[in-house]
Amino acid sequence: MALQKILLYEHVGLGLVISWPSGIVYSNQAGGYGCTQPTIEGVFVPLRNDCLLDGKLLSPETELLSYFTGPKHRGAGARNGLDQQDADHLDSVLRSHRLDRCLHVDRARLTDSDEAWVFVQVTADEDSDGGLFSGFAPYPRSGVLTWSNSD
């Protein structure tokens, strides 16, 4: 039986796909101007996204878009994968949004990661703000952080 596929092209904000045998494959446009469409089977969880009454998005996505369209990457993606500096920045964004208790960049998969598609290790249930996800042990478990591609 073929796996079902969900495209996240129109999702706004940061999301996590936890690797899990769900029968559903998620894909998003990633890689800046490269516009790749990587996939992973799992379950999707939106993370730390809110909107003000005037429509302004409050999300880690804004910091990530700014970084990947900034001087280093200029919206071209990370053509050879991420490097340690990118991983450090991403981990600092996770820390500033209190996600470092359960997620960190998977440094063994930096070459597989790109703008808007970053492999992470899920290390625990997310237990702040009401617990956005739980019950996916044993940890660590692979996942992907994804957000709007800058193209």
Condensed to tens digits (0 to 9), the pLDDT of residues 62-75 reads 999 999 999 998 87
In a domain, residue 11? The reply is: yes
Question: b/e string for 120-146 if b means 16 or more Cβ within 10 A?
Answer: bbbeeebeeeeebbeebeeeebbbbbb
In a domain, residue 94? The reply is: yes
Q: 141 vs 1, 3, 48, 75, 118, CA distance in Å?
A: 25, 21, 20, 29, 14
Over residues 8-62, the pLDDT tens digits come to 999 999 999 999 999 999 999 999 888 899 999 999 999 999 989 998 999 999 9
Over residues 72-120, the pLDDT tens digits come to 988 787 878 999 999 999 999 999 999 999 999 999 999 999 999 999 9
In a domain, residue 21? The reply is: yes
In a domain, residue 81? The reply is: yes
In a domain, residue 61? The reply is: yes
Amino acid at 78: A
User: Domain tally for the chain?
Assistant: 1
In a domain, residue 55? The reply is: yes
In a domain, residue 151? The reply is: no
- Tell me the whole-structure pTM to 2 decimals: 0.93
The Cα–Cα gap between 150 and 69 comes to 7
In a domain, residue 25? The reply is: yes
Domain that holds residue 41: 4-146
